[in-house]
Amino acid sequence: MSDSKPAKYPLDPLAVARAAGLDRCVELFPDDVIAAAQAAAQDRAELPAVDGAAEPWPPMHIRSAQ
């Protein structure tokens, strides 16, 4: 559910997809590739800002110490 402004994917989605090895997708389903890039841009835009130095989840736990 988005109530923010539509975000635009800043790069060429088909070129990025080819770089990711998705040549067959680009060939067969270019509309799906473009739609996915757009959706990813929207998801990125909705992600809240956070202190870049904050510890991500999950904290590292070394197994052999247990």
Partner 1 sequence: MTDLHWLTATEIGAAYAARRLSPVELTRALLDRIAARDREINSFIMVDAEGALDAARAAEKEIAAGRTRGPLHGVPIAIKDIIDIAGLPTTCHSKVLVDNVAHADAQVIGQLRAAGAILIGKLSLHEFAFGGPSKELPFPFARNPWNLDCHPGGSSSGSGAAVAAGLTPLALGTDTGGSIRNPAGVCGLAGLKPTYGLVSRRGVFPLAFTLDHVGPLARTVADVALTLDAIAGHDAGDPGSAAVSGRRYGSDLARGIRGLRVGFVRHFHETDIVADPEVATALDEAARVLEREGAQVRDIRLPRLQVIASVQRMILLSEAWAVHAKWLRERPADYTAPTRRKLLCGAFLTSGDVVQAQQCRTQMIDAVDNAVRDVDVLLTANGMDPSVRLDDVAALARTYPRQARSPFNLTGHPALALMSGLSKSGLPLSLQLVGRAFDEVTLLRVGAAYERATRWHKLRPPIFDDVPALAAAG
Distance from C-alpha of 11 to C-alpha of 38, rounded to nearest angstrom = 10
Nearer to partner 1 (CB atom), residue 50 or residue 62: 50
What 8-state DSSP symbol labels residue 48? P
Least Cβ distance, residue 62 to partner 1 (angstroms): 14
Q: Is the CB of 1 or the CB of 62 nearer to partner 1? A: 1
In one letter, which amino acid is 45?
Answer: A
How far apart are the C-alpha atoms of 24 and 17, rounded to whole Å? 10
Residues that bind partner 1 (CB under 8 A): 1-3, 9, 13, 16-17, 20-25, 28-29, 32-33, 35-37, 39-41, 43-44, 46-48, 50-52, 54-58
